[in-house]
Amino acid sequence: MLKMICMSNTSSGSNIRDCEQFIPANYPNAVQELFTLKQCTSHISIYFKVEIIVSYLKKHSLKIEWIDANPALARMVTSGFFKTTHLELLFNSYKLNNSFISDFEDYISCYLLTETA
C-alpha cells in the first residue's frame, strides 16, 4: 500500500497541503470567475485561448506569437476587466504542488474549450 505524506505550506497564510488535488467543488469562487471568463470571451477566436488565459493567470505574461494571433483576447485578459483574484490565488498558493497545478490547468483547458449547450 502506498502511503501519501502531505507537507503543510503556511507561508501564504493558509494551510496548503502539498499533495492536495484540484477539485472544482472545493473552489466555487474560482469556478465562478472561470465561468465569467468563458462567457465573456465566447465570441473571441480560440487561437491560443487556453495558453493566453492560463499564462496570464499563472504568471501575468504572454508570448508575442499568442498576442499576434489573438490580440482581442490578449487585450481583454490583460486589461484588468475580469475579476480573477481567486484563479490567480490558486496558481500562486499551489505553485509548488505540480500535481495540483497540472490538474488545475487541465480543468481550465477543458472548461474553456468545451461547448456549452
Q: Is residue 4 situated within a structural domain?
A: no
Averaged over successive runs of 10 residues, the pLDDT of the chain (117 residues) comes to: 39 56 96 96 94 97 97 95 95 95 97 80
C-alpha cell of residue 42: 465566447
Q: Is residue 73 situated within a structural domain?
A: yes
Give dist(CA 110, CA 99) in Å, integer: 16
Q: Is residue 9 situated within a structural domain?
A: no
Q: What is the pLDDT of residue 18?
A: 65
Q: Is residue 14 situated within a structural domain?
A: no
Domains contained in the chain, number: 1
Reference 112, options 39, 56, 62; nearest CA is 39
The residue segments making up the domain with residue 97 are 27-113
Q: Is residue 33 situated within a structural domain?
A: yes
